[in-house]
Every structure is written in structure tokens, then in C-alpha cells.
């Protein structure tokens, strides 16, 4: 019969999550510097990369910016050669944002080394372990999103 975690075991996991968050923050800082971007521009790049193509409005929502502010982000990223705008084929009033080949190459240079190392690490786990790890990480993200959605002080940060 499975037992529940002790306080010490739970604290070890919580501490590991905090450490991972700090390490990922440093990784983003280094990647932003490598690409000549500010952190908010890197965040925009990551969101567009993850979604493929999205409207400027969707990007604004994801970044928690006004549409006017996101226009500045898109202008800056387009000027640096990282974003490409195109009209939405279904609604000509909307602008779609995509990454350019230059952006993809920059992402690859900045993030492929960690991707390769993580693939090696993941290969050391059994399938059932990876299922459990993925489930934990997805549920942890849900907890964070729930806290962000209900706490206005955190949402504004």
C-alpha cells in the first residue's frame, strides 16, 4: 500500500521546484542576452513559438498586455527580424504573428544544448516514471494558473 509523503519529502519537492524556477529564470536571462532581446520580448517569442501562429490580440492576452503595448513588442521583434506579420486569411482586420527563420535559428542556438541534455536525462527514466513526472508537472502548472487567476496582486506582477 502506498504511503503519503512526509513533510520532509514534500519540502524537498517544493524546494526542488523553487530551484528549478530560479534556474529556468537564469536560462531565460542568458537566452535573452544571446538573442539581443529583453525578457518580455523573449517571453513573446516563446509564446509565438509554442503556438505557431497567433493573432496580435491573442499574444497580448498571453503576455497580459494591452493591444497597444503588444503592437510595440511586435514592431520591435519584426524590426529585429524575429517576427513576421501577415493578415488573417479568415478576417482581414486581424494580424497574425509568426516566427521567422532567424528566430527559429536563434531559439535553436539558445535552447538546443539544454534540450539535448534533457533528452539524455529523460532517457534514463522508465515510461511509467515519465508518465508520473508529466502528470505532476501538469498539475503543478494548474495550481500556479489557479493562484494567478484568483490573486489580483500576483496577476499584476
Instruction: Give domain status of residue 136, yes or no.
Output: no
- The pLDDT value given to residue 117: 97
CATH code of the domain in which 15 resides: 1.10.10.10
Residue holding cell 526542488? Answer: 16
What pLDDT, on the 0 to 100 scale, is given for residue 154?
55
| Position 63 in a domain | yes
- Could you give the CA distance from residue 34 to residue 98 in angstroms, rounded to a whole number? 20
pTM: 0.79
Give the whole-angstrom CA distance, residue 142 versus residue 8.
Answer: 23
The pLDDT profile of the chain, 157 residues, written as one tens digit per residue, is 678 889 999 999 999 999 999 999 999 999 999 999 999 899 999 999 999 999 999 999 999 899 899 999 999 999 999 999 998 788 878 889 999 999 999 999 999 999 999 999 999 999 999 999 999 999 999 998 888 888 655 544 4
Q: Using one digit for the tens of pLDDT, what is the confidence trace for 75-93?
A: 999 999 999 999 878 887 8
| Total structural domains within the chain | 1
- Asked if residue 132 belongs to a domain, the reply is no
Residue 145 placed within a domain:
no
Residue 110 in contact with residue 37, Cβ under 8 Å? no
User: Burial level of 147, CB count in 10 A (0-12/13-18/19+)?
Assistant: exposed
What's the N-to-C CA distance of the chain in angstroms? Answer: 43
d(CA 27, CA 7): 30
Structural domain containing residue 80:
7-124
What percent of the chain has a predicted confidence (pLDDT) above 90?
75
pLDDT value of residue 48: 97
Question: So what's the pLDDT on residue 121?
Answer: 97
Q: Which long-range contacts (CB under 8 A, 24 or more apart) does 11-20 make?
A: 17/140
In a domain, 75, yes or no: yes
74 touches 85 (CB < 8 A): yes
Q: In what order do the strands lie in the sheet with 53-55?
A: 53-55, 95-99, 83-87
Is 136 strand, coil or helix? helix
24-45 per-position pLDDT tens digit: 999 999 999 999 999 989 999 9
Q: Of all helices (H) and strands (E), which one includes residue 73?
A: helix 67-79
138 falls within a domain: no
Q: Does 139 fall in a domain?
A: no
Amino acid at each position: 500500500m502506498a504511503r503519503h509523503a512526509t513533510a520532509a519529502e514534500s519540502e524537498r519537492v517544493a524546494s526542488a521546484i523553487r530551484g528549478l524556477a530560479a534556474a529556468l529564470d537564469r536560462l531565460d536571462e542568458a537566452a535573452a542576452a544571446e538573442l539581443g532581446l529583453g525578457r518580455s520580448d523573449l517571453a513573446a517569442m516563446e509564446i509565438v513559438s509554442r503556438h505557431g501562429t497567433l493573432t496580435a490580440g491573442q499574444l497580448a492576452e498571453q503576455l497580459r498586455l494591452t493591444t497597444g503595448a503588444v503592437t510595440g513588442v511586435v514592431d520591435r521583434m519584426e524590426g529585429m527580424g524575429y517576427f513576421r506579420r501577415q493578415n488573417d486569411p479568415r478576417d482581414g482586420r486581424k494580424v497574425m504573428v509568426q516566427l521567422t527563420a532567424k528566430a527559429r535559428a536563434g531559439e535553436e542556438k539558445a535552447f538546443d544544448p539544454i534540450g539535448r541534455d534533457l533528452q539524455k536525462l529523460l532517457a534514463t527514466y522508465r515510461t511509467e516514471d515519465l508518465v508520473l513526472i508529466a502528470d505532476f508537472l501538469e498539475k503543478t502548472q494548474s495550481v500556479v494558473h489557479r493562484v494567478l487567476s484568483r490573486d489580483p496582486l500576483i496577476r499584476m506582477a
